[in-house]
Amino acid sequence: MNTLERALSAVGLTVSTIPGKGRGLVAAKDFHPGDVIIQQEPYASSPSKSSTGSFCDGCFASANLRKCSGCRIAWYCGSACQEGV
């Protein structure tokens, strides 16, 4: 059993081949509504424009935004998001 399979098994999941669909995660135990099954920071993200304006490029907030003083393209809600803290 490889590292991924062991980690998934520990949280009640398994990788399985589903005919006509391919490989996927399958629950190996019962979960309750609201249970966190998998949590991971995104590898990359891309905020989009909305009808009400832009979103923070750090946390996706939509209030109190300011354009990045460096590139003048990105929007941030504060210095913590701009600095990536």
8 has a pLDDT exceeding 60: yes
Angle at 30 between CA 34 and CA 9, to 5 degrees: 100
Say what the pTM is: 0.44
User: Per residue in 24-37, pLDDT tens?
Assistant: 989 999 999 999 88
The residue that leads in pLDDT, 50 or 71, is 71
Considering only CA atoms, which of 44, 27, 43 is closest in space to residue 35?
27
